[in-house]
Amino acid sequence: METTYRLSLHRFVVSQLSGNGIDADWLLGEVGIPEWTMDDGDIQVPSSAFTRLWEVAAKAVDDPILPVRLGCRFTLGAGGLCDYLFSTSPTIGEGLATVGPYISDISTNHRLSLIEEGNGDIKFGFEIIEGDDRARDLTHLWAVASLLGRPRRVAAGTFDAELVRLRQRAPRTYTDMYDLLGTRAIEFGAAEDSITFRAADMDVPLTTADPVLHGILEKVAATVPPPPALASAWVDQVAGALAEALIAGDASLDAVARRLMVGRRTLQRRLAEAGTTWRQELDRARLERLRRVDSGGAHLGPARQAEILGYAGPQSIRRAARRWESIAERRVSDAIILAMRA
């Protein structure tokens, strides 16, 4: 199963970089993320895109510890429901304890462990599920820093790391990490990726604590499904583009691909990933357009129907109608079989 990251993380990174002179459209193009996704709410994007985002961004600004810088600026809300559960908790410790159980709402590509050390300090360990060493190094720099940046936003006091261990080799420049993470105890070439916090800091109150809202959010978290995958979001985008294309009079594959700013093969591949085809989506869009026109009380002849639906003529629409009837018959037949088996 392909692992993913919540799109709001990409949106946060892109917004931070665009505020520092990096062209957002260029960055999205380099990463391979469609521009429309930036305004498409919460969806899940393949893990490779998040790794690629850090690779391109770090190279563009010539900064090997860019994930640490941006992680320390983490804005609550970018992590979705997980962030709201954290911010409504009474203390840093109780807030951080919610991150592990609900991390899949942020990403399905990591496991987060929480270990209490012998002296009471709390260590969070990170493991990546899908990705090579480079992917692990970049995303764990981000993970360590964002786990620190999250409490700093709402803690009623200072909050720094006690110890940071990283498997990767030391970057060519990393001394800024001392100030960013609040500790000089940073070990490179370690056997694990982890960040340790002082036991006393776990009792620091959060200024946003709200026990009533937290209780409600916990109930919501138990029932809310994860954000949809990018593949299903593509189907919605194609439907919208097809509706516009039919009105404009050109609903060809190339025309719709241009509207979505992708190649025709990319569009077909995305639809296949979502379990559908170009022909199915085109037929669905045509049926929907015909329903809307008919609902207005219009009595359309075959020629006018063909024109509205983008067919060459009445003969083409008759062939499509037979195809639709065949699909409908199969669906009814399948439903009857299922009912008989129940």
DSSP 3-state of 52: helix
Same domain, 142 and 75: yes
Same domain, 331 and 263: yes
Cα 44 from chain centre: 3
Cα–Cα distance measured from residue 221 to residue 19, given in angstroms and rounded to the nearest whole number: 33
Cα–Cα distance measured from residue 321 to residue 248, given in angstroms and rounded to the nearest whole number: 22
Alpha carbon separation from 3 to 175, 230, 299 (Å, rounded): 33, 12, 50
Q: Which residue has the higher pLDDT, 301 or 153?
A: 153
Same domain, 214 and 305: no
Neighbouring residues of 98: CB distance < 8 A, sequence distance ≥ 6: 82, 85, 86, 89
* Residue range(s) defining the domain that contains residue 98: 4-221
Same domain, 173 and 114: yes
Band of the pLDDT at 328, cuts 50, 70, 90? very low
- The pLDDT value recorded for residue 338 is 47
Q: Specify whether the CB–CB gap between 162 and 197 falls below 8 A.
A: yes
Asked whether residue 107 carries a pLDDT value surpassing 50, the answer given is yes
Cα dihedral across residues 176, 130, 9, 91: positive or negative: negative
The Cα angle at residue 213 between residues 208 and 214, in degrees rounded to 5: 80
Same domain, 265 and 139: no
Same domain, 172 and 255: no
Same domain, 212 and 241: no
Average pLDDT over residues 177-191: 96
Band of the pLDDT at 297, cuts 50, 70, 90? very low
Domain of residue 90, CATH code: 3.90.1520.10
- The pLDDT value recorded for residue 116 is 87
Q: For 217-264, what is each residue's pLDDT tens digit? A: 988 887 766 555 555 666 777 888 888 888 887 888 888 887 776 678
Same domain, 260 and 139: no
Q: For 15-49, what is each residue's pLDDT tens digit? A: 999 988 899 999 998 998 888 777 766 788 888 99
Asked whether residue 140 carries a pLDDT value surpassing 80, the answer given is yes
Band of the pLDDT at 60, cuts 50, 70, 90? very high
Give the total number of structural domains in the chain.
2
- The pLDDT value recorded for residue 336 is 32
Percent share of the chain, pLDDT over 70: 80
Which among 189, 221, 253 is the end of a domain?
Answer: 221
Tell me how long the chain is: 342
- Residue given tokens 């807030």 in the structure block: 95
Same domain, 207 and 249: no
DSSP-derived secondary structure letter, 205 = B
Same domain, 248 and 213: no
Instruction: Specify the pTM.
Output: 0.67
Same domain, 236 and 131: no
Q: Which residue has the higher pLDDT, 69 or 268?
A: 69
Which among 196, 221, 246 is the end of a domain?
Answer: 221
Q: Report phi then psi at 91, rounded to 5.
A: -135, 170
Asked whether residue 267 carries a pLDDT value surpassing 50, the answer given is yes
Single-letter amino acid, residue 332 = V
Asked whether residue 319 carries a pLDDT value surpassing 60, the answer given is no
Same domain, 216 and 169: yes
Which among 221, 256, 290 is the end of a domain?
Answer: 221
Domain of residue 296, CATH code: 1.10.10.60
